[in-house]
Amino acid sequence: MSRNQTLFERAQRVIPGGVNSPVRAFRAVGGTPRFIQRGQGAYIYDADAKRYIDYIGSWGPMILGHGHPAVLEAVTKAAQEGFSFGAPTEREIELAEEILKLVPSMEQVRLVSSGTEATMSALRLARGATGRSKFIKYEGCYHGHTDSLLVKAGSGLATFGHPTSSGVTPGAAQDTLVLEYNNLAQLEEAFQRHGKELAAVIIEPIAGNMNFVRTQLAYMKRLRELCTQHGALLILDEVMTGFRVGLHSAQGHYAQLIPGFKPDISTFGKVIGGGMPLAAFGASRDIMKHLAPLGGVYQAGTLSGNPVATACGLATLREIQKPGFFETLSARTRRLVDGLAAVAADNGVPFSVDAQGGMFGFFLFPQLPQNYATVMSTDKERFNRFFHAMLDAGVYLAPALYEAGFVSAAHTDADIDATLEAARSALR
């Protein structure tokens, strides 16, 4: 028996399902989860000392790869100074300033510890600022495990086929309106019926928990117009896309294509913590004034702005601003997805791909899906066979059909070549 199997059996005795986040359990693909011992650069090593080319990157944060020297130096120095104080530090200001410099839609930002905390707080802020209760979310978009947002969500919920979560009461979900992603007619109807009651619309600009699905340009443009027209706040959930798809995040990409575009509230996570538990939400000064201690919208956290986490995030953000960083990362990601598409075509396998910055997705489907229902119709069993063939060959992809993938600055052309060779064998 492998050490991974031994650890999994041991874990299941003391942890529900043997994991602390559901998708890690490999239930969607079958088999034994890999228990990771260490990471270095573009690689992770499991309990059996097997090396994998890592395309999960802790689900997005490891944009520099594992163990980047500048990040290790910053974290080591911060840890020596103290793990946590429960009091303000100068580094919190520095990280906030760095984030705001790169995201012009925000004037102020509040640091928190997780993406779930960021989206939960952003939604509460929107309700407090508007005095309204209802909001719109999208089928297949995952915004963390807050009760009112666990309604037809994606990610692990899509994996297990649950439309919502047990334990979420009808009362908690009664103000949540769920629309189909990229369905313009539905959007128009929702605002026509509920526009005066809507506090906000929350959306992933590029959904990463039903694999990789973009908000269509016309849809995003009209969504911004309708929110402005009806006084609803547009919340962009960039926990996954923030500083991952570009230096100015997904909203920077849409701002280039839609003159004057910006969200009202934004949430961030993953990359801004560099692998540490850190996230943020932010908006204009006028909206953020509603937040305690200035206003009546309460939010707090013992570890918010943790000094070690902020050191890790600050070092990461400074590295990704170096000249040519995103051009190189984007080119490498594009080389990977174009190569996968070519290998699939050579083997007569239906395949479609998309990528932005260091984030990518592929579907065993002839065209790119535009919504959750289409994603759910793709060939799950064929994906599972592909996943295990790649895993056996030392390539670690997300253990579920419904998850985006991530390339880091540590991935080399040789890593991409090895991945494509593994895919060629797997698809054959």
pLDDT one-digit tens code per residue, 235-247:
999 999 999 999 9
276-307 residue pLDDT tens: 999 999 999 999 999 999 999 999 999 999 99
Contact predicate 189/167, CB 8 Å? no
Distances (CA, A) of 126 to 121, 136, 206, 286: 9, 12, 21, 12
* Parallel, antiparallel or unpaired: strands 198-203 and 134-138: parallel
Instruction: Please report the domains of the chain, with CATH numbers, ordered by start residue.
Output: 3-67+323-427 (3.90.1150.10), 69-320 (3.40.640.10)
CA-based radius of gyration for the chain: 21
Confidence at 154, pLDDT banded by 50, 70, 90: low
CA atoms within 13 A on the CB side of 319: 26
337-350 residue pLDDT tens: 999 999 999 999 99
pLDDT at 170: 78
Q: Would you give the DSSP letter of residue 202? A: E
| Residue type present at position 289 | K
CA dist., res. 40 & res. 185, Å (int) = 48
Average pLDDT, integer, range 181-199: 96
pLDDT at 376: 87
Q: What percent of the chain has pLDDT over 90?
A: 90
97-153 residue pLDDT tens: 999 999 999 999 999 999 999 999 999 999 999 999 999 999 999 999 988 888 765
**Residue in the structure block whose two tokens are 């895993």:** 391
pLDDT at 336: 98
pLDDT at 167: 84
At 71 the three-state DSSP class reads helix
**Which is nearest to 135 in space by CA: 235, 207, 204?**
235
**Residue in the structure block whose two tokens are 């600022």:** 129
Q: What percent of the chain has pLDDT over 70?
A: 97
Confidence at 164, pLDDT banded by 50, 70, 90: low
Q: Would you give the DSSP letter of residue 107? A: S
Paired strand residues for 112: 279
Confidence at 173, pLDDT banded by 50, 70, 90: confident
CA dist., res. 99 & res. 304, Å (int) = 16
Q: Would you give the DSSP letter of residue 235? A: E
At 49 the three-state DSSP class reads coil
Instruction: Catalogue the active-site residues.
Output: 142, 237, 270
Least confident of 29-33, 36-40, 167-171, 219-223: 167-171
- The model carries a pTM of 0.95
**Which is nearest to 212 in space by CA: 332, 361, 39?**
361
Exposed, middle or buried, 325 (CB in 10 Å: 0-12/13-18/19+)?
middle
Average pLDDT, integer, range 172-181: 89
For the cut 50, the answer to whether the pLDDT of residue 161 exceeds it is no
Mean pLDDT of the chain: 95
| Residue type present at position 346 | D
Confidence at 159, pLDDT banded by 50, 70, 90: very low
Confidence at 198, pLDDT banded by 50, 70, 90: very high
pLDDT at 150: 84
Q: Taking the C-alpha atoms of 89, 94, 95 and 99 in order, what is their torsion angle to the nearest 10 degrees?
A: 150
408: which 2 tokens? 């880091």
pLDDT at 168: 81
For the cut 80, the answer to whether the pLDDT of residue 206 exceeds it is yes
pLDDT at 160: 41
pLDDT at 104: 96
pLDDT at 162: 39
CA dist., res. 243 & res. 99, Å (int) = 9
pLDDT at 138: 94
